[in-house]
Structure formats: C-alpha cells, structure tokens
Amino acid sequence: MTQFNENQESQKNFIYTRYRYCGRVKPENLAFNANLQEFSQKVAYIVNLETNGKLPPGKAFNQIEELWEELKCTKDGLMIDDKY
C-alpha cells in the first residue's frame, strides 16, 4: 500500500469510526449494529449541519425522522427481539 492510500485509509477510519460489537453474536444482531452505527453517524452529521446554520431545524428533524423509520424497518426486517 502506498503512503497516499494509507493516509486515505487512516482518514476514512477517523471519519467513519466503527466500534466493535459486544453483544450476542448472531448475524442479525451484527447487521443491526452496523445499521445502528450508520444511523448515529448520519444523525451526527445532520445535527452538526443544523447547529452551524446550514440546515433548517424543521428539515433536520424530518431527515432524522426518516432515518429513524428506516432503522425501525431494518429492525423489523431482521426480526430482532427486544429481549436480551
């Protein structure tokens, strides 16, 4: 790997941080965890845009609400139960 690619990979890992899963290891739990981390990353971007005045509060709310509905659908689709 060249120095340029290593720097790109380092920046990518910094911006798109992924955390290790520590729950029950089942494929549906791992998939949901990945979706949950993506949800939280997108919400953070939306919140930062709204906080800095780049996105109106109503639009930010609507975008987060859409992301929430998508996350709920993936939970239902993966048949994740609420019991741990």
Q: Which pair of tokens denotes residue 52?
A: 């800095």
Query: What pLDDT, on the 0 to 100 scale, is given for residue 80?
Result: 85
The pTM (predicted TM-score) of the whole model is 0.74
CA dist 26 and 36 (Å) reads 15
Over residues 30-74, the pLDDT tens digits come to: 899 999 999 999 999 999 999 999 999 999 999 999 999 999 999
Question: Cβ contacts of residue 68 below 8 Å, gap of 6+?
Answer: 39
Which pLDDT value is given to residue 17?
62
Question: Is the separation of the CB atoms in 74 and 23 below 8 Å?
Answer: no
15 vs 56: which has the higher pLDDT: 56
Q: What is the pLDDT of residue 22?
A: 80
C-alpha distances out from residue 10 to 3, 4, 6, 15, 41, Å: 10, 10, 6, 9, 17
